[in-house]
Amino acid sequence: MAHTYLLFDFGTDEEKAQLARHKLEGWKQAFRLDKKLQYKLERGEEEAKPDSEQVQKAAEPPKAEKHKPKTKSKAKQAKAEASEEAPRVNGKVNLLVRLYFSGHEKLTEQRWLDRIPSEEPFKEASPRVVRQGEPQFDEVVQQFDSLG
């Protein structure tokens, strides 16, 4: 069985990466591709910054607990602001997709290789296909396995 990897670079757009992940999950379930289509998200190093900001925002609502009627609304607003800002602040997001079809499923594999990069959230993510035997293949395999 040959592996083929599709690499997508979403830049800092976490929302599109999650939309792509959701679409892949839907295909996996609809077409019963459990072992044949696997994916992993890789996030950049700037991921630590949003955590520190969220910690600061989480520390603010307890100060506002003096006024009990307003506490719930302020807490909800703080959570909503934190959830809205988190996708914008994250670093670079990459999506790695592994297709794992057997030798007699070449046509099915080719259809998925054509379909996935042509769909909406994947088009703008500069798709790149790495097949077994290409020079970068070993690097991509190590990257995929390290994301565990």
Domain segments of the chain as ranges: 2-44+90-146, 48-87
Instruction: For 31-89, write each residue's pLDDT tens digit.
Output: 999 999 999 999 987 544 444 444 444 444 444 445 555 555 555 554 444 444 444 45
* DSSP characters over the chain: -EEEEEEEE-TT-HHHHHHHHHHHHHHHHHTT-TTTEEEEEEE-GGGHHHHHHHHHHHHHHHHGGGSHHHHHHHHHHHHHHHHHHHHHH---EEEEEEEEE-GGGHHHHHHHHHHHHHSHHHHTT--EEEETTSTTHHHHHHHHHHT-
The CATH label, of 1.10.4040, 3.30.70, 1.10.3470, 2.60.120, for the domain at 2-44+90-146 is 3.30.70
What pLDDT, on the 0 to 100 scale, is given for residue 115?
A: 96
- Stated pTM of the model: 0.70
What pLDDT, on the 0 to 100 scale, is given for residue 72?
A: 52
Instruction: Provide the pLDDT confidence category of residue 29 given band limits of 50, 70 and 90.
Output: very high
What pLDDT, on the 0 to 100 scale, is given for residue 38?
A: 96
